Structure 1
């Protein structure tokens, strides 16, 4: 795989993983590693400071378990390039595959297990840097600190993030990149993360986006029994479908389709829970809201409300 960082940024090549880990502790983030009991691992690492950012491309060459109580004063944006990486956090676990992003808050515990062929790019951002981006854009950052509400993302669904990371890595490989330009890129990526990923920041300067988003939600409520497409919503909001995905991720932490399905299920749950509602049968109400496959509808309903639709109907009617 082509390195995102240049040869001049190579620090270790087929080296002792403990030496690589010690370097990471000094420059990228405090952590501990646990190695397999057998085998001789060959770890590699490239690193460069780019303004206030640190860029690190790393592979341990084996199934290494990486843990940390918390990163404390920094955020990590980790892009998996090769292999897979098992992440455990927030009561769940997920195997990251190439093209997926892991976003780690300063107070998030880190629990990662690399595959033998795992390779990733890590972008380290100081917490103070994101605070400054909020101040520059007149956004309100909570006193307890900025916290992103989701940990994993598909890079392809995030408009502009992939090209921005690629451009920063390209500039980092350049022989002469002015310090002022590095700082500017850093400010751009900080603002991009805050605009793209759902967080606890209040975007007071985005007054125009709130009425627009409210109009989208009103349209969804008025047309819940119809088949609402992402293209329809994007046209209503006068933005591209990819921008619409970013808007929904930022505002409600999910995709437009998932939000619409959730609202349909909530409407059905309300009908089934209302003794005054005239519900002849579950199939009819499910089809009213566009659920044509009753088995999948029942699974989604139970996953959302913890019981089958027939149980809800039986308890309230």
Structure 2
């Protein structure tokens, strides 16, 4: 990568005005000294200092990318060390994928995390993070304004008071397992160098799902508002939501964006779909997309069409999961449908 390209890759993470607005894919960076490691992490995430806790060089690797306004990166130092950060301006969530990490933030008690837990760093406080030599973490940085907008969409009102996110997130709870699934997805995406998230619609959908998983599973200050039973949804509202999904199933819908489009709360929409259709809105959307994909594959030629191109066109962005869902729905793989010649 040229020095100019490298600088532009790093610029998007800091929101610099001269950064190219188009998606720039995955950045892969390495460092063999503390100074180099500090510079890389400072430019992707936030200013920091590295303090070695054992002799030998740093063997840092960082694979990072932008997902909408959110920055994600898998970071490892290959050395037992302590990281001291400046006060964060965004929210950071660090989830170990290997090894163990001991974290402190703003004078908190030390928190030890492994692949069964995560540390959530709120804006406005410095952090101290001790990495084992074999530790690697999936680090997520979300702008506070992005969190605020999504929380207001979830609770269906303006949120003026600060919202609290506990420092420790267990991944053994039902909500934590949702976050774990998102970590696995992002780790896989980084390892394949951003192949799925190179599609803009997929990028938008993954970011919304990631933030919803964090807010619904971890925001405690608005738990009552998030969990409050909503008033019944009129069938006309559900009919409008169904119409939108049927007219535009290829769009990067989430439950939040669909609820916003029909002017009801997220809970109302969920309850209404289950009450009137017997399934959540995203299950309805997945089944609708599978049906449209099957219709296209039955009419297409294997000489001019690929399964992947049809799936992407209808908003299916994870090929492995898509193929499994397709086979479960229709009793054959999508490639088998495509290979059958039209009558």
Bin the TM-score by the shorter chain: 0.5 to 0.7
Match of 1:155 in 2: 171
3-state SS of the aligned residue for 1:120?
A: strand
- Gapped regions of structure 1 (runs ≥ 5): 1-7, 211-317
The reply to whether residue 43 of structure 1 matches residue 63 of structure 2 is no
- Within 5 Å, give how 1:192-207 maps onto structure 2: 192-201=213-222, 204=225, 206-207=227-228
Q: 1:206: how far off?
A: 4.1
The correspondence for 2:145, drawn from 119, 128, 132, is 128
3-state SS of the aligned residue for 2:163?
A: coil
- For residues 61 and 171 of structure 1, what CA distance do their matches in structure 2 show? 22
Match of 1:165 in 2: 183
- Gapped regions of structure 2 (runs ≥ 5): 1-24, 232-343
Structure 1 21/182 Cα, relative in aligned 2: closer, same or farther at 3 Å? same
- For residues 214 and 158 of structure 2, what CA distance do their matches in structure 1 show? 14
Structure 1 135/94 Cα, relative in aligned 2: closer, same or farther at 3 Å? closer
- For residues 101 and 194 of structure 1, what CA distance do their matches in structure 2 show? 14
Match of 1:84 in 2: 100
Contact 2:65 2:71 (C-alpha < 8 Å) held by counterparts: yes
- For residues 145 and 42 of structure 2, what CA distance do their matches in structure 1 show? 19
Larger radius of gyration: 1
Q: What's the TM-score, normalizing by structure 2?
A: 0.52
- For residues 179 and 214 of structure 2, what CA distance do their matches in structure 1 show? 8
- For residues 65 and 205 of structure 1, what CA distance do their matches in structure 2 show? 37
Contact 1:87 1:95 (C-alpha < 8 Å) held by counterparts: yes
- For residues 52 and 108 of structure 1, what CA distance do their matches in structure 2 show? 21
Contact 1:102 1:152 (C-alpha < 8 Å) held by counterparts: yes
- For residues 203 and 170 of structure 1, what CA distance do their matches in structure 2 show? 34
Q: 1:128-156: CA deviations, max 9, x gaps?
A: 111110232244565354331x2112213
Contact 1:141 1:202 (C-alpha < 8 Å) held by counterparts: no
Q: What's the TM-score, normalizing by structure 1?
A: 0.56
Structure 1 88/141 Cα, relative in aligned 2: closer, same or farther at 3 Å? farther
The reply to whether residue 175 of structure 1 matches residue 192 of structure 2 is no
Match of 2:126 in 1: 109
3-state SS of the aligned residue for 1:98?
A: coil
- For residues 167 and 67 of structure 1, what CA distance do their matches in structure 2 show? 28
Match of 2:72 in 1: 55
Q: 1:103-146: CA deviations, max 9, x gaps?
A: 11112331111112221110111111111102322445653543
- For residues 64 and 144 of structure 1, what CA distance do their matches in structure 2 show? 37
Match of 1:67 in 2: 84
Select between 135-144 and 16-25 the one with higher mean Cα deviation. 135-144
Contact 1:101 1:154 (C-alpha < 8 Å) held by counterparts: yes
Contact 1:12 1:20 (C-alpha < 8 Å) held by counterparts: no
Structure 1 136/207 Cα, relative in aligned 2: closer, same or farther at 3 Å? same
Q: 1:198: how far off?
A: 3.5
Match of 1:28 in 2: 45
User: How much is the aligned-residue C-alpha RMSD, in angstroms?
Assistant: 2.7
- Within 5 Å, give how 1:240-259 maps onto structure 2: none
